[in-house]
Structure 1
Amino acid sequence: MTVAVETGTWQLDASASAVALKHRTMWGLVAVKGAFASVAGGGEVGPDGSATGTLTLDVTSLDTKNAKRDTHLRSADFFDAENHPEITYVVRTAELDGADTVRVTGQLTVRGISRPHTLTARVERADGDAVTLAAEFTVDRDEFGLGWNQLGMMRGLTAVTATLRFVRSAG
Protein backbone atom coordinates (compact mmCIF):
# COMPACT_ATOMS: atom_id res chain seq x y z
CA MET A 1 0.00 0.00 0.00
CA THR A 2 2.52 2.64 1.07
CA VAL A 3 6.23 2.33 1.60
CA ALA A 4 5.65 2.43 5.38
CA VAL A 5 3.18 -0.47 5.35
CA GLU A 6 5.15 -3.66 5.47
CA THR A 7 4.47 -7.02 3.90
CA GLY A 8 2.79 -9.47 6.26
CA THR A 9 -0.29 -10.10 8.34
CA TRP A 10 -2.30 -7.28 9.90
CA GLN A 11 -5.15 -7.43 12.46
CA LEU A 12 -7.93 -4.93 13.00
CA ASP A 13 -7.57 -2.95 16.22
CA ALA A 14 -11.26 -2.99 17.21
CA SER A 15 -10.70 -0.50 20.03
CA ALA A 16 -9.49 2.12 17.52
CA SER A 17 -11.97 1.27 14.72
CA ALA A 18 -15.58 2.26 14.08
CA VAL A 19 -18.27 1.45 11.53
CA ALA A 20 -21.47 3.50 11.49
CA LEU A 21 -24.48 3.93 9.26
CA LYS A 22 -27.05 6.60 8.57
CA HIS A 23 -30.33 6.31 6.69
CA ARG A 24 -33.01 8.90 6.08
CA THR A 25 -36.48 7.82 7.19
CA MET A 26 -39.89 9.41 7.82
CA TRP A 27 -39.93 10.47 4.16
CA GLY A 28 -36.46 12.00 4.44
CA LEU A 29 -37.21 14.11 7.51
CA VAL A 30 -35.28 12.07 10.11
CA ALA A 31 -31.81 10.54 9.94
CA VAL A 32 -31.49 7.24 11.78
CA LYS A 33 -27.90 6.74 12.90
CA GLY A 34 -26.28 3.66 14.35
CA ALA A 35 -22.89 2.12 15.05
CA PHE A 36 -21.63 -1.44 15.26
CA ALA A 37 -19.98 -2.12 18.63
CA SER A 38 -18.39 -5.36 17.45
CA VAL A 39 -16.04 -5.09 14.48
CA ALA A 40 -13.35 -7.66 13.63
CA GLY A 41 -11.01 -8.30 10.75
CA GLY A 42 -7.58 -8.71 9.35
CA GLY A 43 -5.63 -8.96 6.18
CA GLU A 44 -2.36 -9.48 4.46
CA VAL A 45 -0.12 -7.13 2.52
CA GLY A 46 1.75 -8.83 -0.30
CA PRO A 47 5.25 -8.13 -1.59
CA ASP A 48 3.80 -5.96 -4.39
CA GLY A 49 2.03 -3.74 -1.82
CA SER A 50 -1.47 -4.99 -2.59
CA ALA A 51 -3.69 -6.15 0.26
CA THR A 52 -6.47 -8.67 0.85
CA GLY A 53 -8.56 -9.32 3.95
CA THR A 54 -11.91 -9.55 5.68
CA LEU A 55 -13.98 -7.21 7.84
CA THR A 56 -16.81 -8.66 9.95
CA LEU A 57 -19.59 -6.78 11.76
CA ASP A 58 -21.75 -8.45 14.41
CA VAL A 59 -25.31 -7.53 13.41
CA THR A 60 -26.54 -7.80 17.00
CA SER A 61 -24.05 -5.11 18.04
CA LEU A 62 -25.79 -2.39 15.97
CA ASP A 63 -26.85 0.36 18.36
CA THR A 64 -29.12 3.21 17.20
CA LYS A 65 -29.82 4.42 20.78
CA ASN A 66 -33.39 3.08 20.51
CA ALA A 67 -33.87 -0.47 21.88
CA LYS A 68 -37.21 -1.05 20.13
CA ARG A 69 -35.76 0.01 16.76
CA ASP A 70 -32.62 -2.08 17.32
CA THR A 71 -34.76 -5.16 18.01
CA HIS A 72 -36.70 -4.50 14.79
CA LEU A 73 -33.47 -4.06 12.80
CA ARG A 74 -32.27 -7.47 14.06
CA SER A 75 -35.57 -9.10 13.02
CA ALA A 76 -36.39 -10.86 9.74
CA ASP A 77 -37.77 -7.53 8.42
CA PHE A 78 -34.20 -6.22 8.17
CA PHE A 79 -30.92 -7.97 9.02
CA ASP A 80 -32.44 -11.30 10.16
CA ALA A 81 -29.70 -11.67 12.78
CA GLU A 82 -30.93 -15.09 13.88
CA ASN A 83 -30.09 -16.56 10.46
CA HIS A 84 -27.42 -14.05 9.35
CA PRO A 85 -25.53 -12.84 12.44
CA GLU A 86 -22.71 -11.15 10.52
CA ILE A 87 -22.14 -8.63 7.77
CA THR A 88 -18.86 -9.32 5.97
CA TYR A 89 -16.73 -7.47 3.49
CA VAL A 90 -14.08 -9.61 1.82
CA VAL A 91 -11.35 -7.50 0.28
CA ARG A 92 -10.21 -9.03 -3.01
CA THR A 93 -7.76 -6.22 -3.79
CA ALA A 94 -6.68 -3.03 -2.08
CA GLU A 95 -4.15 -0.97 -3.98
CA LEU A 96 -2.70 2.50 -3.57
CA ASP A 97 -4.50 4.88 -5.92
CA GLY A 98 -2.77 8.19 -5.39
CA ALA A 99 -0.66 9.54 -2.56
CA ASP A 100 -3.19 8.90 0.21
CA THR A 101 -6.06 6.91 -1.27
CA VAL A 102 -6.63 3.19 -1.61
CA ARG A 103 -9.00 1.61 -4.13
CA VAL A 104 -10.68 -1.33 -2.43
CA THR A 105 -12.53 -3.97 -4.43
CA GLY A 106 -14.41 -6.70 -2.65
CA GLN A 107 -17.56 -8.62 -1.87
CA LEU A 108 -20.14 -7.29 0.61
CA THR A 109 -22.41 -9.90 2.21
CA VAL A 110 -25.51 -8.80 4.11
CA ARG A 111 -28.33 -11.12 5.08
CA GLY A 112 -26.69 -13.95 3.13
CA ILE A 113 -26.69 -11.96 -0.12
CA SER A 114 -23.31 -11.13 -1.65
CA ARG A 115 -22.65 -8.32 -4.08
CA PRO A 116 -19.44 -6.85 -5.49
CA HIS A 117 -18.61 -3.50 -3.90
CA THR A 118 -15.78 -1.09 -4.68
CA LEU A 119 -14.87 1.92 -2.57
CA THR A 120 -12.11 4.43 -2.03
CA ALA A 121 -10.48 4.74 1.38
CA ARG A 122 -8.22 7.51 2.63
CA VAL A 123 -4.97 6.62 4.36
CA GLU A 124 -5.24 8.64 7.56
CA ARG A 125 -1.99 7.37 9.04
CA ALA A 126 0.57 4.72 8.15
CA ASP A 127 3.82 3.52 9.67
CA GLY A 128 5.62 0.23 10.15
CA ASP A 129 3.30 -0.91 12.94
CA ALA A 130 -0.14 0.52 12.11
CA VAL A 131 -2.27 1.87 9.28
CA THR A 132 -5.56 3.72 9.65
CA LEU A 133 -8.02 3.91 6.77
CA ALA A 134 -11.20 6.00 6.56
CA ALA A 135 -14.00 5.50 4.06
CA GLU A 136 -17.45 6.85 3.32
CA PHE A 137 -19.72 5.07 0.86
CA THR A 138 -23.35 4.19 0.21
CA VAL A 139 -25.21 0.91 0.04
CA ASP A 140 -28.56 0.20 -1.59
CA ARG A 141 -30.33 -1.84 1.10
CA ASP A 142 -32.82 -3.24 -1.43
CA GLU A 143 -29.94 -5.14 -3.11
CA PHE A 144 -29.50 -7.11 0.12
CA GLY A 145 -33.11 -8.01 0.85
CA LEU A 146 -33.62 -5.15 3.32
CA GLY A 147 -36.69 -3.88 1.50
CA TRP A 148 -39.05 -3.43 4.47
CA ASN A 149 -40.52 0.04 4.03
CA GLN A 150 -43.75 0.70 5.90
CA LEU A 151 -45.79 3.44 4.23
CA GLY A 152 -42.84 4.29 1.97
CA MET A 153 -41.06 6.04 4.85
CA MET A 154 -37.54 4.87 3.92
CA ARG A 155 -36.00 6.21 0.75
CA GLY A 156 -32.56 6.49 -0.74
CA LEU A 157 -29.27 4.87 0.05
CA THR A 158 -27.73 4.01 3.40
CA ALA A 159 -24.55 5.96 4.13
CA VAL A 160 -21.73 4.04 5.78
CA THR A 161 -18.65 5.53 7.44
CA ALA A 162 -15.72 3.47 8.60
CA THR A 163 -12.47 4.24 10.36
CA LEU A 164 -10.34 1.11 10.53
CA ARG A 165 -6.99 0.80 12.28
CA PHE A 166 -4.88 -2.23 11.44
CA VAL A 167 -1.82 -3.24 13.44
CA ARG A 168 0.98 -5.49 12.33
CA SER A 169 0.67 -9.03 13.70
CA ALA A 170 3.56 -10.34 15.72
CA GLY A 171 5.53 -13.22 14.35
Structure 2
Amino acid sequence: MTVAVETGLWQLDAGASDVALKHKTMWGMVTVKGTFATVGGGGEVAADGTATGTLTLSAASLDTKNAKRDTHLRSADFFDVDNHPEITYTVRSAELRSGDTVQVSGQLTVRGISRPQSVTAKLAGVDADALTLNAEFTVDRGEFGLDWNQMGMIRGVTTVTASLRFTRVATA
Protein backbone atom coordinates (compact mmCIF):
# COMPACT_ATOMS: atom_id res chain seq x y z
CA MET A 1 0.00 0.00 0.00
CA THR A 2 2.35 2.77 1.19
CA VAL A 3 5.03 3.40 3.78
CA ALA A 4 2.31 4.83 6.06
CA VAL A 5 0.73 1.37 6.26
CA GLU A 6 2.93 -0.90 8.34
CA THR A 7 3.80 -4.36 7.09
CA GLY A 8 2.37 -7.25 9.03
CA LEU A 9 -0.95 -8.81 9.93
CA TRP A 10 -4.16 -6.81 10.18
CA GLN A 11 -7.51 -7.88 11.69
CA LEU A 12 -10.93 -6.49 10.76
CA ASP A 13 -12.50 -4.54 13.61
CA ALA A 14 -16.07 -5.83 13.21
CA GLY A 15 -17.48 -3.30 15.66
CA ALA A 16 -16.13 -0.39 13.63
CA SER A 17 -16.92 -1.87 10.19
CA ASP A 18 -20.08 -2.25 8.18
CA VAL A 19 -21.16 -3.82 4.91
CA ALA A 20 -24.50 -2.93 3.37
CA LEU A 21 -26.39 -3.51 0.16
CA LYS A 22 -29.19 -1.90 -1.76
CA HIS A 23 -31.19 -3.26 -4.66
CA LYS A 24 -34.11 -1.92 -6.64
CA THR A 25 -37.22 -4.12 -6.62
CA MET A 26 -40.84 -3.78 -7.67
CA TRP A 27 -39.80 -2.95 -11.23
CA GLY A 28 -37.30 -0.35 -9.97
CA MET A 29 -39.76 1.61 -7.83
CA VAL A 30 -38.59 0.41 -4.39
CA THR A 31 -35.05 0.21 -3.05
CA VAL A 32 -34.41 -2.55 -0.53
CA LYS A 33 -31.55 -1.79 1.84
CA GLY A 34 -29.86 -4.18 4.23
CA THR A 35 -26.78 -4.57 6.40
CA PHE A 36 -24.73 -7.60 7.37
CA ALA A 37 -24.51 -7.79 11.17
CA THR A 38 -21.71 -10.36 11.23
CA VAL A 39 -18.50 -9.52 9.38
CA GLY A 40 -14.96 -10.77 9.87
CA GLY A 41 -11.64 -10.89 8.15
CA GLY A 42 -8.04 -9.94 8.05
CA GLY A 43 -5.08 -9.53 5.83
CA GLU A 44 -1.39 -9.03 5.47
CA VAL A 45 0.63 -6.13 4.12
CA ALA A 46 3.84 -7.37 2.53
CA ALA A 47 7.21 -5.62 2.52
CA ASP A 48 6.62 -4.49 -1.09
CA GLY A 49 3.46 -2.63 0.01
CA THR A 50 0.93 -5.00 -1.52
CA ALA A 51 -1.83 -6.52 0.57
CA THR A 52 -3.84 -9.74 0.55
CA GLY A 53 -6.66 -10.92 2.78
CA THR A 54 -10.19 -12.14 3.24
CA LEU A 55 -13.50 -10.56 4.18
CA THR A 56 -16.26 -12.90 5.41
CA LEU A 57 -19.95 -12.07 5.83
CA SER A 58 -22.52 -14.28 7.51
CA ALA A 59 -25.26 -14.50 4.86
CA ALA A 60 -27.82 -15.19 7.59
CA SER A 61 -26.95 -11.91 9.31
CA LEU A 62 -28.41 -9.76 6.50
CA ASP A 63 -31.03 -7.47 8.04
CA THR A 64 -33.38 -5.50 5.78
CA LYS A 65 -35.73 -4.53 8.64
CA ASN A 66 -38.41 -6.88 7.27
CA ALA A 67 -38.46 -10.32 8.93
CA LYS A 68 -40.50 -12.01 6.17
CA ARG A 69 -38.18 -10.70 3.44
CA ASP A 70 -35.08 -11.63 5.46
CA THR A 71 -36.36 -15.20 5.87
CA HIS A 72 -36.91 -15.37 2.10
CA LEU A 73 -33.42 -13.99 1.42
CA ARG A 74 -31.95 -16.75 3.61
CA SER A 75 -33.88 -19.45 1.70
CA ALA A 76 -32.76 -21.51 -1.29
CA ASP A 77 -34.37 -18.86 -3.56
CA PHE A 78 -31.53 -16.48 -2.66
CA PHE A 79 -28.54 -16.99 -0.35
CA ASP A 80 -29.36 -20.59 0.65
CA VAL A 81 -27.72 -20.11 4.03
CA ASP A 82 -28.26 -23.74 5.08
CA ASN A 83 -25.82 -24.81 2.36
CA HIS A 84 -23.79 -21.60 1.91
CA PRO A 85 -23.60 -19.76 5.25
CA GLU A 86 -20.81 -17.36 4.25
CA ILE A 87 -20.16 -14.80 1.57
CA THR A 88 -16.44 -14.25 1.10
CA TYR A 89 -14.26 -11.80 -0.73
CA THR A 90 -10.69 -13.00 -1.11
CA VAL A 91 -8.26 -10.20 -1.86
CA ARG A 92 -5.57 -11.33 -4.28
CA SER A 93 -3.92 -7.91 -4.37
CA ALA A 94 -4.52 -4.43 -3.04
CA GLU A 95 -2.27 -1.59 -4.14
CA LEU A 96 -2.28 2.09 -3.29
CA ARG A 97 -2.62 4.16 -6.45
CA SER A 98 -2.77 7.94 -6.75
CA GLY A 99 -3.65 9.80 -3.57
CA ASP A 100 -5.83 7.70 -1.31
CA THR A 101 -7.17 5.33 -3.99
CA VAL A 102 -6.63 1.61 -3.45
CA GLN A 103 -7.14 -0.80 -6.34
CA VAL A 104 -8.34 -4.15 -5.00
CA SER A 105 -8.52 -7.31 -7.11
CA GLY A 106 -10.03 -10.46 -5.78
CA GLN A 107 -12.67 -13.12 -5.90
CA LEU A 108 -16.23 -12.87 -4.57
CA THR A 109 -17.92 -16.12 -3.53
CA VAL A 110 -21.70 -16.25 -3.01
CA ARG A 111 -23.76 -19.49 -2.85
CA GLY A 112 -20.57 -21.44 -3.61
CA ILE A 113 -20.09 -19.59 -6.91
CA SER A 114 -16.87 -17.58 -7.28
CA ARG A 115 -16.30 -14.73 -9.70
CA PRO A 116 -13.50 -12.18 -10.10
CA GLN A 117 -14.38 -8.82 -8.59
CA SER A 118 -12.30 -5.66 -8.73
CA VAL A 119 -13.03 -2.80 -6.37
CA THR A 120 -11.72 0.73 -6.10
CA ALA A 121 -11.54 1.71 -2.44
CA LYS A 122 -10.58 4.91 -0.66
CA LEU A 123 -8.13 4.92 2.21
CA ALA A 124 -10.18 6.99 4.63
CA GLY A 125 -7.74 7.01 7.51
CA VAL A 126 -4.45 5.42 8.43
CA ASP A 127 -1.99 5.43 11.30
CA ALA A 128 0.58 2.95 12.59
CA ASP A 129 -2.04 0.69 14.17
CA ALA A 130 -5.30 1.17 12.22
CA LEU A 131 -6.63 1.90 8.76
CA THR A 132 -10.08 2.36 7.24
CA LEU A 133 -11.09 1.52 3.68
CA ASN A 134 -14.35 2.68 2.11
CA ALA A 135 -15.72 1.16 -1.08
CA GLU A 136 -18.83 1.03 -3.20
CA PHE A 137 -19.27 -1.41 -6.07
CA THR A 138 -21.97 -3.31 -7.94
CA VAL A 139 -22.64 -7.02 -8.24
CA ASP A 140 -24.81 -8.80 -10.79
CA ARG A 141 -26.71 -11.18 -8.52
CA GLY A 142 -27.59 -13.45 -11.44
CA GLU A 143 -23.91 -14.40 -11.79
CA PHE A 144 -24.13 -16.00 -8.35
CA GLY A 145 -27.33 -17.99 -8.81
CA LEU A 146 -29.47 -15.37 -7.08
CA ASP A 147 -31.93 -15.31 -9.93
CA TRP A 148 -35.32 -15.67 -8.23
CA ASN A 149 -37.44 -12.99 -9.88
CA GLN A 150 -41.18 -13.30 -9.40
CA MET A 151 -43.05 -11.49 -12.18
CA GLY A 152 -39.87 -9.66 -13.24
CA MET A 153 -39.91 -7.49 -10.10
CA ILE A 154 -36.18 -7.70 -9.39
CA ARG A 155 -33.77 -6.51 -12.05
CA GLY A 156 -30.36 -4.99 -12.38
CA VAL A 157 -27.39 -5.01 -10.10
CA THR A 158 -26.97 -4.79 -6.36
CA THR A 159 -24.88 -1.98 -4.92
CA VAL A 160 -22.60 -2.94 -2.04
CA THR A 161 -21.05 -0.37 0.27
CA ALA A 162 -18.39 -1.16 2.84
CA SER A 163 -16.52 0.75 5.50
CA LEU A 164 -13.83 -1.55 6.83
CA ARG A 165 -11.57 -0.73 9.76
CA PHE A 166 -8.50 -2.89 10.26
CA THR A 167 -6.18 -2.91 13.26
CA ARG A 168 -2.59 -4.08 13.21
CA VAL A 169 -1.99 -7.26 15.18
CA ALA A 170 1.59 -8.26 14.39
CA THR A 171 4.54 -7.80 12.12
CA ALA A 172 5.09 -10.30 9.35
TM-score scaled by structure 1?
0.99
Q: Distance in 1 between matches of 2:98 and 2:148?
A: 39
* Mapped pair 1:161 → 2:161: yes
Q: Distance in 1 between matches of 2:130 and 2:120?
A: 19
Q: Which amino acid aligns with 1:123?
A: L
Counterpart of 1:74 in structure 2 is: 74
Q: Distance in 1 between matches of 2:157 and 2:37?
A: 22
Counterpart of 1:57 in structure 2 is: 57
CA RMSD across the alignment: 0.7
Question: 1:3 aligns to what SS in structure 2?
Answer: coil
Q: Which amino acid aligns with 1:69?
A: R
Question: 1:76 aligns to what SS in structure 2?
Answer: coil
Query: 1:87, CA displacement in angstroms?
Result: 0.1
Q: How many residues align?
A: 171
Query: 1:110, CA displacement in angstroms?
Result: 0.1
Per-residue CA deviation, residues 8-38 of structure 1 (Å, 9 max, x unaligned), is 0000000000000000000000000000000
Q: Distance in 2 between matches of 1:2 and 1:167?
A: 16
Counterpart of 1:84 in structure 2 is: 84
Structure 2 contact 23–32 (Cα < 8 Å) conserved: yes
Percentage of pairs with the same residue:
74
Per-residue CA deviation, residues 63-92 of structure 1 (Å, 9 max, x unaligned), is 000000000000000000000000000000
Counterpart of 1:109 in structure 2 is: 109
Moved over 6 A (4+): none
Q: Distance in 1 between matches of 2:119 and 2:168?
A: 23
Structure 2 contact 8–170 (Cα < 8 Å) conserved: no
* Mapped pair 1:27 → 2:22: no
Structure 2: 5+ residue runs without aligned partners? none
Question: 1:151 aligns to what SS in structure 2?
Answer: helix
TM-score scaled by structure 2?
0.98
Question: 1:169 aligns to what SS in structure 2?
Answer: strand
Query: 1:170, CA displacement in angstroms?
Result: 4.2
Q: Which amino acid aligns with 1:161?
A: T
Structure 1: 5+ residue runs without aligned partners? none
Query: 1:141, CA displacement in angstroms?
Result: 0.1
Query: 1:59, CA displacement in angstroms?
Result: 0.6
